[in-house]
Structure 1
Amino acid sequence: MARRGKALALGPLFILGFPRSGTTAMANAIARLKRFGGYGPEGHFIYLFAGPLNRIAAGEFNANSILHEEGAPDTVLDAFRALTNQLYSSQADPADTTWIDKTPDLLQVRAVPLIDRLWPDARYIFLYRPPEAAVRSSLALWPGQVTGNERNTAQRWVNCQQSWRRVRPRLGTRCVDVFQPEMLAAPQTIAAALQPLLDLSDSEVDALTRIWTRHPRMNRPDGPRGEAYDKVTLTAEVAADVTAITREEAAHWPAITAADAKKSPPR
């Protein structure tokens, strides 16, 4: 149904997930809708301050700290919120909250309680894909970092998914999970799923669908590097270990178990 009347007042949009899970394709597409703020470099900013700001919010500081002055903790949190708004805003406006942060990282997911305290009207999109595919894609794009660390990468995938499952209930209807393979195979379905979250008009749903349909291989290498990327595989031993490490967590994600069932040969 087309949107009627005034558009929903949106806070910032946080696009989260494990690396190589479709966050770039999501951020680039939404940023092309004119009423949303732009998207440039990845964030990797807010989680750096999560520990100190959470302690300030909880009153966990030295007994002699200036933060005991009346209203001081709120002043610090307000200043950080305004600074972040200004950093992300296309107009450098400390009051502007119409912006997109894309930070595919476990640490950003763990920072969501702080983010939600600072921007209680924020929206969240969490992208995920099967663990073996996430590890393989990470290996293909960053061989120097992931080679020999495939099992640690798999465990980080587990930690990222677990952290999101724990924090997701507090967000209610302000979050949507997106299975990355479905964004490629059924872009209209994913765009429609985002409609209530972002108060999208029918024309905006169509625009997202067109973007993902025309650019299904976004954020992957082109040319010879892309050919090499496609050829990278996990060894049988590593693949078995990745499956063992991620099996318990993957079972909490019906889209992953359904995809695995389709791959399994009939008995």
Structure 2
Amino acid sequence: MKNFKNKIVVVTGAASGMGKSYAIEFAKLGAKLALCDFNFDGLKEVILEVEAIIGKENVYIQKVDVSNKEQIFDFANNVKTTLGNAHVVINNAGIEGDLKPFYNIEIDDFKRLMDVNFYGVVYGSKAFLPQLVANKEGALVNVSSVFGLIAPPINSDYAASKFAVRGFTESLMAEFHKSPISIHCLHPGGIKTNISKKEHVVKHVAKNLTTSPEKIVKHVIKSIVKKQPKIVYGNGAFKFWFISNFVPKKWLFSFMRRELKSDVNTDSFKTFNANF
């Protein structure tokens, strides 16, 4: 797909960060937008910006919890009724992990993160792929992370969700190989967004999360045009890819543990280490 003029683009988690940037950049390209987010107030602010670019009649918004299968499928049906079948679907919605050792994570919190970050992608893919197929063209972008390439300590919940997205999406790539539907797995690194509001990661954010959402989104759009399946981009992303492929695990584990301990240094990490 090389031209997004009048194409219908679906973005989940569109109220802020990369989701908002997707909405604005695709609007500039003349696409029609279907946006959803659990934060409906934030979504209503985004719609004011995109309506100024493409007009109110070319935007549809809905409050959706992506972990709720019924809400996702209802959203897909409403998009089809209001705008038509989707051409591009970006399963972007996600939440941060607890940044604690697995030892200290409540299992209900772990499950909630998997429900949003992984099953939200599964539901979004299942709900919208039939629309892409009906159009006989389209692109599905599922957002993983550099932590879908490497699983660092105190990120077992988040990394599990992003590795799951990667495995699921790579399977779809094989299934849709040589079809007119392009499947993409995005591994962004170092995005400067507001996904993290935890005080103890401020130092980590200042050091590592420096790539603007707009820059990554523009790269993703170029990758869709080129039909590039795996998209690895952002501060430190290539480093993570290289390490995941070429560095022995025993060195990797020591390096990642040391890096996160110096950056984050959470009380729960200290408590966990005190057990040994």
TM over 0.5: no
Indicate the structure with greater strand content: 2
Give the TM interval when normalised to the shorter protein: 0.3 to 0.5
Q: Which of 1 and 2 has greater Rg?
A: 1
TM-score between both structures, scaled by the size of structure 1: 0.41
TM-score between both structures, scaled by the size of structure 2: 0.40
